[in-house]
Amino acid sequence: MSLSIISPSNREKEMQSLISIYNSIENSESIIFNSGAGAGKTYSLIESLKYVIRNYGRSLKKHNQQIICITYTNVATKEVKERLGNSDIVLVSTIHERIWGLIKQYQKELVEIHKEKLKEEISILQKNIITNKEFEKYQELDDAKKEKFKRIMFENKELFYQNYNVRAADLKMAFQPFLEDFPEILKNVSNFRKIVNTIYKLERNLVCLENINLNKKEYKFVDYTSNYNNDQLHNMKISHDTLLEYGQRIIEKYDTLKQIVIDKYPFVFIDEYQDTNEKIVSIMSSLDNYAKKIGHKLFIGYFGDTAQNIYDDGVGSKINDIHIGLKPINKEFNRRSTKEVISVINQIRNDNIKQVSIYNDCGGGSIKFYKGAQENVRDFINKYVHEWNISSANKLHCLVLTNKVVAEYSGFKNIYEAFKETGKYKGINYNQLNTELLNNDLSKLGEVPKLLFSIIKLHNNILNNKTPVLEILSKKSLSDKLNIEDLRKLINLLKQNKGKTLGEYITSISAYYTSVNNEIYEKIMDLTFGYKITSCEIFKNFLLEKLFNDITDENIDYANEIIQKLLDIEMDEYELWYKFIIDKQEQNINYHTYHGTKGREFENVIIIMENAFGKTRDYFSFFFKNLSDPSLLQGAEKDLFEKVKNLLYVSCSRAIKNLRVFYIDEISNFESGIENIFGQIYSYNCEDRSSI
């Protein structure tokens, strides 16, 4: 066995980096702990947490104080909790949960922030109405006519929404009788919709603002809903991004709140800081400064690696500009990979962190760069399935560039293809699809993928006998008036929902929904769907509305066709997608995108690579081309270079033992760049193999 022996001197050295952290904890001196991939960053984080518990646990408990630990994903939260054991003075959670936990009890102040936000939104909408070209026809009306138009539209709100997704002619027909005085405004239906929508939205926000000022009961609280990705400001509901914004605003505005947070949580640990939102870093920075100002103790520890910043909204190396005065602590050991892998990833990052393996027995790895062709990818993978004895106990993980390929290879190509054709994810929105359809972090799934996820989850849960009943009831309150026979009836009913395709399954669900009078069944479905699923049509319309928001007349048939496609896909395919999302795939070969492997490690890795990435044609090729002298790059190009480097670093550093890169484009222009990192370039084609 390799990667098992650690010499005492290495152990001692590793301890030193921990001791530096401990010292900073003692001195309430905020740190930024940098370590490359596989350095055992999570280990250092856990040990630091344990150190605080050991030395401050009693006192924290006595003063009713807690330690905050923020992780990047729910998966990581679970891992930290497991490794930390039973300790309730540490609050481990993702950032959104924590920020909401911090601010939610300050409703009076939150409502103030909310008012500010509403006012800003209102002024943007008002400005749009006045200046935006799309609102031209409305702008041309005189004030009296504007008012009249608004009045008519408010009176016919229902009619407007009923006709939201119909053909332009139908819409015109529906509104003609009401808008005879406004012949111009109906000419362009798309703009008409925009005008009316904006008017409605503006009105809703104004009403909301007024209600807040009137001190109405339902307007005294702001709520955060993790289920939806869009704000509903007028309903006092905010989503992810706005939550962070409110968090930042409220903390910056109220010094007392700063002090409360500092005194209640004197230790804050942030994992994967590089991908943490800037707003969080500025919240932390203002807390840190305020603590120093009032002379209270506060320790903030950022754990991460700038070279692994792969998300655009992550703070990356800017952290040092936003949070000034952090003490850097570096760890240069690698606990994951063989020395062959380590030497390649060091070569990629090419900065002040040069990792060495902590193990004495760190050899035995193998890493090779192949050039080949698209059509040989499967063959190449098969070659290594044999060569590396891939089995369920020794899986092979393939990193591919596009989600399309992941979807195809993982068995849910049709789902992916259908989504790709939707208005929401088409064209410039294509990148959204990657994060919103194939994300292991459920909170990042898009609205429709999240709905599908909930449906498949219910389907999957019902089939699995080990599912906790509460998970199916989804809300504790649903169990309140239940006896055993009610429960048996309910579960039986749920088990009767069947369907080969999604459409059939939904039809089955809605058939029982309308025919069987079972209140709890209905409530479960209401919670799953978010609306009353009385027919499959309702589901279709929902998809249509969400996936083809700005549908034009000509496209309505096409849109319906795509929706039908989604409904005709078999449940088995959705199951595969579901297993992929929850990372419980059963196949021996698992496919991931480069991004999807953050924080993971695999024995065997094959990376399929090409020039392009997403919309950028010249992506990896750009990196290899400029590798010899990146200092020549500036501005956007410099940023791009960094981005590619980080992605390459993250992907290659997943491998523990075996790593292959298979490049499917022509490389003659940048061979030297590749050789610089991977050494010799091998070429692969099928004939080679058949001759073996």
Which is nearer to other proteins, 356 or 462 (by Cβ)?
Answer: 462
C-alpha to C-alpha distance for 371 and 663, rounded to whole angstroms: 5
Among 8, 295, 427, 468, the residue binding other proteins under the rule CB under 8 A is: 468
Which is nearer to other proteins, 461 or 552 (by Cβ)?
Answer: 461
- 307: its two tokens: 């070279």
C-alpha to C-alpha distance for 590 and 584, rounded to whole angstroms: 10
The helix (run of H) or strand (run of E) holding residue 301 is: strand 299-304
Does 635 appear as a known binding residue? Answer: no
Which is nearer to other proteins, 512 or 622 (by Cβ)?
Answer: 512
Kindly report the number of other CB atoms within 10 A of residue 442's CB atom.
Answer: 18
Contact 107, 222 (CB under 8 A): yes
- 485: its two tokens: 């026979």
Which is nearer to other proteins, 63 or 151 (by Cβ)?
Answer: 63
Give bridge partners of residue 662 from the DSSP assignment: 370, 608
337 class by beta-carbon count within 10 Å (0-12 exposed, 13-18 middle, 19+ buried): buried
- Does 466 help bind other proteins (rule: CB under 8 A)? yes
The helix (run of H) or strand (run of E) holding residue 38 is: none
- Does 62 help bind other proteins (rule: CB under 8 A)? no
Among 4, 9, 64, 86, the residue binding other proteins under the rule CB under 8 A is: 86
Minimum Å gap between C-beta 304 and other proteins is: 24
Does 37 appear as a known binding residue? Answer: yes
Among 28, 57, 122, 225, the residue binding other proteins under the rule CB under 8 A is: 57
- 571: its two tokens: 């449940």
Does 40 appear as a known binding residue? Answer: yes
Minimum Å gap between C-beta 493 and other proteins is: 12
Minimum Å gap between C-beta 462 and other proteins is: 7
Does 41 appear as a known binding residue? Answer: yes
- Which range in 193-201, 252-260, 459-467, 576-584 contacts other proteins by CB under 8 A? 459-467
C-alpha to C-alpha distance for 42 and 40, rounded to whole angstroms: 5
- Does 64 help bind other proteins (rule: CB under 8 A)? no
Which is nearer to other proteins, 108 or 476 (by Cβ)?
Answer: 476
Which is nearer to other proteins, 46 or 650 (by Cβ)?
Answer: 46
Residue closest to 225 by CA, chosen among 246, 240, 245, 235: 240
- Does 85 help bind other proteins (rule: CB under 8 A)? yes
Among 4, 256, 465, 634, the residue binding other proteins under the rule CB under 8 A is: 465
The CA angle 6-327-8, to the nearest 5 degrees, is 15
- Does 209 help bind other proteins (rule: CB under 8 A)? no
- Does 173 help bind other proteins (rule: CB under 8 A)? no
Q: Please give the residues from 481 up to 500 whose contact with other proteins meets the rule CB under 8 A.
A: 481-485, 487-488, 491
Cα–Cα distances (Å) from 210 to 69, 111, 125, 206, 546, in that order, read: 39, 12, 17, 6, 29
- Does 554 help bind other proteins (rule: CB under 8 A)? no
Which is nearer to other proteins, 269 or 623 (by Cβ)?
Answer: 269
Contact 258, 475 (CB under 8 A): no
What is the CB-side half-sphere exposure of residue 11 using CA atoms within 13 A?
Answer: 5
Residue closest to 528 by CA, chosen among 544, 539, 540: 539
Residue 15 backbone phi and psi in degrees, to 5: -60, -35
- 154: its two tokens: 């408010």
Query: Which amino acid type is present at position 658?
Result: N
Query: Which amino acid type is present at position 321?
Result: D
Query: Which amino acid type is present at position 226?
Result: S
Residue closest to 278 by CA, chosen among 329, 219, 318, 235: 318
Which is nearer to other proteins, 54 or 108 (by Cβ)?
Answer: 54
- Does 584 help bind other proteins (rule: CB under 8 A)? no
**Pattern 27-56, other proteins, x by CB under 8 A:** -----------------------x--xx--
- Which range in 26-34, 65-73, 464-472, 513-521 contacts other proteins by CB under 8 A? 464-472
Among 464, 515, 631, 680, the residue binding other proteins under the rule CB under 8 A is: 464
Cα–Cα distances (Å) from 449 to 51, 132, 326, 465, in that order, read: 41, 33, 40, 25
Among 11, 23, 27, 58, the residue binding other proteins under the rule CB under 8 A is: 58
Contact 509, 128 (CB under 8 A): no
Which is nearer to other proteins, 32 or 520 (by Cβ)?
Answer: 520
Residue 160 backbone phi and psi in degrees, to 5: -60, -45
Minimum Å gap between C-beta 73 and other proteins is: 20
Query: Which amino acid type is present at position 573?
Result: E
Does 38 appear as a known binding residue? Answer: yes
Minimum Å gap between C-beta 430 and other proteins is: 39
Minimum Å gap between C-beta 366 and other proteins is: 35
Which is nearer to other proteins, 295 or 468 (by Cβ)?
Answer: 468
Minimum Å gap between C-beta 55 and other proteins is: 9
Which is nearer to other proteins, 484 or 692 (by Cβ)?
Answer: 484
Residues 6+ apart with CB under 8 A from 90: 49, 53, 66, 67, 68, 69, 84
Minimum Å gap between C-beta 298 and other proteins is: 22
Which residues carry a binding-site annotation for ATP?
A: 35-42
Per the annotation, where are the binding residues? 35-42
Site for other proteins, rule CB under 8 A: 50, 53-54, 57-58, 61, 85-89, 461-462, 464-470, 472-473, 476, 479-485, 487-488, 491
